[in-house]
A and B are shown apart, each in its own frame.
Chain A
Amino acid sequence: MTLETWLLFALAVFCLGVYCVLGRRNLIVILIGIELMLNAASVNFMAVNHFLSPHPEVGQIIVLFVIGLAAAEAAIALSIILAVYRQRKSIDVADLHELKG
């Protein structure tokens, strides 16, 4: 597998993630999209690390950090979605329009 293959793979996953965030109405699906984007970026990072970096261990540690932060962020996002559901009985993003005006 060459570097270009991995970069293209990461790009494809990233675009799927962007589609989920911008084009879907379900809050959970938006969360999935965010996770996809984060993981695609990590794959991209590791690919460059494996093929081009003189110290591969540095890149791996950074990616571990990103995975940990993504997990924490997913926990918070889920609790926000739960709170929104409790208040509005809906997780459709079109129903959240307090910022309008």
Chain B
Amino acid sequence: MVFFRRSHAIASGVVIASGLVSLFTSAALLLGDGHAIGAINARWFWIGDTPIEFGVLLDGRTMMMGAVVALITLCIEVYSLSYMKHDPGRGRFFAFLAFFEMSMLAFVFSSNLLQSFIFWELVGLASFLLIGFWYEKPSAVAAAKKAFIMTRIGDVGLFIGLILLFTATGTLDIPSINALFAPDGAPGSIATGRIELIAALLFIGVIGKSAQFPLHTWLPDAMEGPTPVSALLHSATMVAAGVFLVTRFHDLFMDAPQTMQWMLWIAVGTAILASTMAIVAKDMKRVLAFSSISQLGYMLMALAAGSLFAGYFHLVTHAFFKALLFLCAGAYIHHFGTNDMVAMGRAGAGRRMKLVTVGMIVGGSALAGIPPLSGFVSKEHIIGSLPAGARVGALLAAFMTAYYAFRMIFLITRPNPDSQAVEEEAAHAQHEDGHVHHGPAEPWSMLAPIAVLTVGAIGAGLLGDWMGHKLGMEHIHHPTVADMAPAVVVALLGGALAWFDFGRRRSAQVGSVAHLPAVQRLFVRRWYIDEIYDATIVRFSLWIARLCFGAETRGLDVGADAVARGTRESGEMVAQSHTGRLQLYIGSAIVVVAALALTLGLRSGGGGGG
């Protein structure tokens, strides 16, 4: 970025080349050794007697996550070549993408909790820079600020947890911490309450970064950024960092059952909550954003129920199909100049952009959990690992997931003349900056990543056993057909309802929820959570900010100004003695000399005489 801001071609070339390098190295690592290489560390600084190190941790979990991040980032980088082709800032965009990739990979491969925290924050910074990429748009700037501040709130919890963990265990080195917690039962040296607290605080960081209730409101707004950003950060990688953190410290969390219980209910609740918001959204990116929140809930559900494999597996499959969906959405948005699904469908998205539509159908079906796609396999594992009460919640969310996934597909592919759906923003081939879209609707640099991700979305499900082996788990519980049945039934029911509402030849395309206007309003307004936050926390913070501002301008500034004014005025007063009148000067000299002479003379005369 420092050198090539103006020459966009070089910038994009450098970034894509580095993306390729990252991909090859991580793939080589992944496919090479059969077991963990372990950590490569270097001494950084000391706290008292304890050294804090800086290093690289290479085991199954990190290598797999690294490979996924590298692959998806490379796909996004290639895609951005044509998506950002007309953008004057695209050199900067590629630089930020590379910065993000660096931070994310460094986070994944960190061997030390302090180091991972540093890169966790850097990932948040990359997110801020990318969401606010179009910085002249006030809504984008506001969304970037909101994202950064909300994740920062979570980070406070994470940092406190980190400190407590250090005081409890005396180390921040990740393998050492895991070794401490790995044996069955909590380590005797640490009080159980303390472990619960640490786990809870770490999870607060996860809530912020992975957009769970109550810190989820930033993610829908983050869609203000360019679509490649949404595809990369806010579906596949950055928000998955929180999930990755939980998998990293799985042993610690397993020793904190109370916290896990609490995590489970937050995750299930979030999954359901976000799905309700998705079923009424008109903006394609918003649907996918809510969907991401919901699917992250699924991952955390599995982890909270104790199944490391299910959570991790869903992380990988979700990365593929969600990034795929976002890239397809981006292709439509780039061509039609609008995010509105209804408008896109009416403008002929399904007919004109067939390959992209195929990708979207595959992605949407994977999201809904249709066998034998990857989303289905991972979702089965998750549902299979949950206790009964949570299972009901998960199935409800799965029903709604299938509904909104197929709703999206049908709105794009099957517009019909009886539709009563309202377009909120019309499609037009002319973009905001006035250029008319020439060129193919499906350029190769968009299709290639979509194709790659489609393969991944289909095939990742088959890699389950290999993945489990890589993660170091020899025995994976495979769900039986009876276990699988409820989820499949629920998914098909959701799809059927979506067909009834949106796919039929003469459907009104308005949705079943529209029959209950109050409920519809609740979902559309996102359960009024944003309004509640605005009325309470935001108002309070602004009040404190105004207080401080007033104290500063009326208090401190006035004081400083008074000191300056006093100095100046006293100087001016003294300067008045410089009259420039010669005779005054001589007169004062005479007076002083006379006075001196008198006093000295009297003293010596009196002393000598007396």
A4 within 8 A of B: no
Q: Which residues of B contact A22 (CB under 8 A)?
A: 583, 586-587, 590
How many B residues are at the interface, by size bracket?
Answer: 10 to 19
- The smallest C-beta distance from B190 to any residue of chain A, in angstroms, reads 76
Contact A21 B586 (CB under 8 A): yes
- The smallest C-beta distance from A35 to any residue of chain B, in angstroms, reads 15
CA distance A101 to B581 in the complex (A): 11
* A51-101 interface (Cβ within 8 A of B): 93-94, 96-101
Contact B580 A18 (CB under 8 A): no
CA distance A97 to B580 in the complex (A): 5
Contact B580 A100 (CB under 8 A): yes
Q: Which residues of A contact B578 (CB under 8 A)?
A: 99-101
CA distance A94 to B581 in the complex (A): 7
Interface size on A, residues (CB 8 A): 13
* B536-583 interface (Cβ within 8 A of A): 575, 578-583
Which chain B residues have a beta carbon within 8 Å of chain A's beta carbons? 575, 578-583, 586-587, 590
Q: Which residue of B lies closest to A33 (CB)?
A: B586
- The smallest C-beta distance from A98 to any residue of chain B, in angstroms, reads 7
Contact B583 A93 (CB under 8 A): yes
Contact A101 B575 (CB under 8 A): yes
CA distance A101 to B574 in the complex (A): 10
Contact A101 B580 (CB under 8 A): yes
CA distance A96 to B584 in the complex (A): 13
CA distance A101 to B580 in the complex (A): 7
Contact B583 A21 (CB under 8 A): yes
Q: Known: A93-B582, A93-B583, A96-B582. Is A18-B590 also a contact (CB below 8 A)?
A: yes
- The smallest C-beta distance from B47 to any residue of chain A, in angstroms, reads 61
CA distance A94 to B587 in the complex (A): 15
Q: Can you name 7 A-B pairs with beta carbons within 8 Å?
A: A21-B586, A22-B586, A30-B583, A94-B581, A96-B582, A97-B581, A101-B580
CA distance A18 to B406 in the complex (A): 112
Q: Which residue of B lies closest to A94 (CB)?
A: B581
CA distance A18 to B589 in the complex (A): 12
Q: Which residues of B contact A97 (CB under 8 A)?
A: 580-581
Q: Which residue of A lies closest to B587 (CB)?
A: A22
With A18-B590, A93-B582, A99-B582 known, 7 other A-B pairs at CB within 8 A are A22-B583, A22-B587, A94-B581, A96-B580, A96-B582, A100-B580, A100-B581
